[in-house]
Chain A
């Protein structure tokens, strides 16, 4: 070995290759040095101090933030380092809720694992835990501050990877907490429910919100017909909870388990993914022909959709109007299955099994609720289904595989690859190329849209026409791409975005793992599923063809639109009121409200606001007008928006504002003069 690149770790020679810090090198030496605040996907924080090692000549240093230098002699297991780790874990435990057996993270919690690994049987410090109430406001997540170890992993993934920044550290010293702004509930701020924070949280401080109890209740109710739909990514991951390798397909066992648990019918969300392909591709071809709303953005990922609604109102119309496969399934089930199974809408309970926490939020959106009941009643994450299987005492690995029910259980490979980043694009390409060329193609794999990087671009030539595609995962990457589109630096025809790095297989509802190789194995598993199926193109799915023939009519037609499409709108980032800035609170005062939301601000609402004030002052209207500011009118694509009395003016200019003020203060003016 070349000595100039070698570090000695516990008497073994380890070669420095790309490792950025000693920690990576120690792990390469197959020593699992414990950490809380180190995450290979995130920046180095160096706060937990668990990774302390002894370097000869340097003493104790944190491995995560020490660069490896050739010739270093590192000891990971000295009396001092061992003592240190124990004290740290004991200190954390002293500050921690002691309800471990009832915690959702029990058995996957890092703190619990470490306490066991380090042989901690007593805690020498007095328990300091304050009983902070849980934040259960979010449809997707539960925050339990009593279990937080302040490692900051969640804060960093939310801002660095997702570019959302919904949560951050606040206060100082022993009062430090991780919280949404102003200590608000999570559902009142800009959180997009992606759950990535819960995926990286080492303890039970952030967890997906469980709907297991509600699902059991429905299963036990003899009046209810309970229907399951299973998302693609679940089948290559749930086995991990039962000792199987990541990526091993267990579709048959999942179906068997769901039937054994008591579901009346078990269907495959990949079926509606096939439908999505046909609808979304047709929409895409239509947009290309009319040259409207290009690039088209996929809309299968509800975290991404909320992200666009909040931050990029000008692109809301670029989102595909297709519902996500989960919601297409819900709509079909409640419209068509109720008829064929002869069940009343209110007696049918649709439960989807998803790798995702944002799907819980999506199912509760107003757009997907009809006659007071949601199209999808409950969303279980992969983890939650695993727990139900455990509770039911089923030996998952030993279950003999069963098959989905028909018709909505039949899918092609195109519907399954939705689970991978790039899958939607590839499935769309499999259809669009055949439709545009009118030819059947042997090859169905489009390797150019596959890969691991968070932004992938590809050019595709179909019948002499060039299409430019981008496949993005991670919302921070999406933001980078959107900014490039806005500035004109890049242009695309179709853009696929999944909020979770790697796509749905890396969803926050999947079994917990700290090993980065797990995602790759699941991705591989999904592609193997595709290869094992007989059909690979959505347009070949005989049950999809039949559904169009019997019920939906044309692709993109009227009935298809009614059931399979929807519309999205801008939304406020923060749920709150505005503030009154001036004037006279008399009841008859004219209210002028200027939007100071991000988009309007950037479009000049501040200048407009000044000009309006100038006008009011000059014309002595102070007593007749109340001026206030609000933080979003949800009309951001057309800002600056202001409301004058009951007229909302979009793209407002000072002239338009003055005109409206004059018009509406007219009667008051007269009244005032009259009294005088």
Chain B
């Protein structure tokens, strides 16, 4: 029933925006809030209801980095790889977190769709390097221990299990 509710919501979003092509970006934003990503069939539906080509919708959806066409995990972790953070070994943090979540190379989301790990180019928090964002929250001056503790907390809350078994 969850998918159904979401689809009804999409219809609502499109209608609220007057099925107006000029409102494509707000429509996509609202849909992403629902799904946490932009599913292909939904984008095709949006194209149909706005009377524009799916290729155009795809073009807009891929132009802005805030949109994503791949399903993301419930918690999105963004580790900064801007110059300041990079110098402070932020990529070590990235590796440690990926290992904890048992993500293999090239994979950014775990099979249970709980976590997505990404790097970003600059969070604008260079004074706090190395920094990362979990969902909307910024964490600075991280050590590997502190970073892991933050992740482990979420794992415990979400699964009720001890973190060292996650994804194993």
Contact = CB atoms under 8 A, between A and B. Distances in A.
A180 B55 contact: yes
A189 interface: yes
A554 B10 CA distance: 57
Given A613-B8, A622-B1, A574 B54 contact: yes
Nearest to A573: B54
Interface stretch (A345-353, A377-385, A493-501, A594-602): A594-602
B49 interface: yes
A613 B3 CA distance: 13
B89 interface: no
A181 B45 contact: no
Interface in A612-657: 613, 622, 627, 629, 631
A45 to B, nearest CB: 14
Interface residues of B, number: 29
Contact of B55 (A189, A576, A613): A189
A627 B4 contact: yes
B44 interface: yes
A172 B62 contact: yes
A631 B48 contact: yes
Nearest to A630: B41
A165 interface: yes
B110 to A, nearest CB: 23
A581 interface: yes
Contacts of A606: 11
Interface in A127-186: 159, 164-172, 179-183
B17 interface: no
A403 interface: no
B41 A579 contact: yes
A598 B3 CA distance: 21
Interface string B23-67: 000000000000000011101110111011111111100111100
A574 B44 contact: yes
- Residue from B8, B54, B69 whose CB has the most chain A CB atoms within 10 Å: B54
A223 B45 CA distance: 52
A20 interface: no
A273 B34 CA distance: 56
Contact of A165 (B7, B11, B56): B56
Contacts of A107: none
A181 B41 contact: no
Contact of B3 (A172, A190, A582, A631): A582
A169 B53 contact: no
Contacts of B44: 181, 574, 576, 631
Contacts of B65: 172
Interface string A567-587: 000000010101111110000
Contacts of A627: 4
Contacts of B56: 159, 165, 168
Contacts of A578: 41
A629 B55 contact: no
A582 B40 CA distance: 18
A627 B45 CA distance: 16
B145 to A, nearest CB: 36
A579 B53 contact: no
A531 interface: no
A613 B47 CA distance: 23
A582 B63 contact: no
Contacts of A167: 55
B53 A165 contact: yes
A190 B52 CA distance: 12
Contacts of A580: 3
Given A172-B62, A622-B1, A631-B41, A581 B57 contact: no
Nearest to B65: A172
A549 interface: no
Contacts of B57: 181
8 smallest CB-CB distances across A and B, nearest first, come from A165-B53, A582-B4, A181-B54, A168-B55, A181-B55, A181-B58, A168-B59, A581-B4
Interface of B: 1, 3-4, 7-8, 11, 39-41, 43-45, 47-49, 51-59, 62-65, 69
Given A164-B53, A166-B53, 18 more contacts: A166-B55, A169-B63, A170-B55, A170-B59, A172-B63, A181-B43, A181-B44, A181-B47, A182-B54, A183-B58, A189-B54, A578-B41, A581-B4, A596-B45, A601-B49, A610-B11, A629-B7, A631-B48
24 contacts: A159-B56, A165-B53, A166-B53, A168-B53, A170-B59, A171-B63, A179-B55, A179-B58, A181-B43, A181-B44, A181-B55, A181-B57, A181-B58, A182-B69, A190-B53, A576-B44, A579-B3, A579-B39, A581-B7, A596-B48, A610-B8, A613-B4, A622-B1, A631-B45
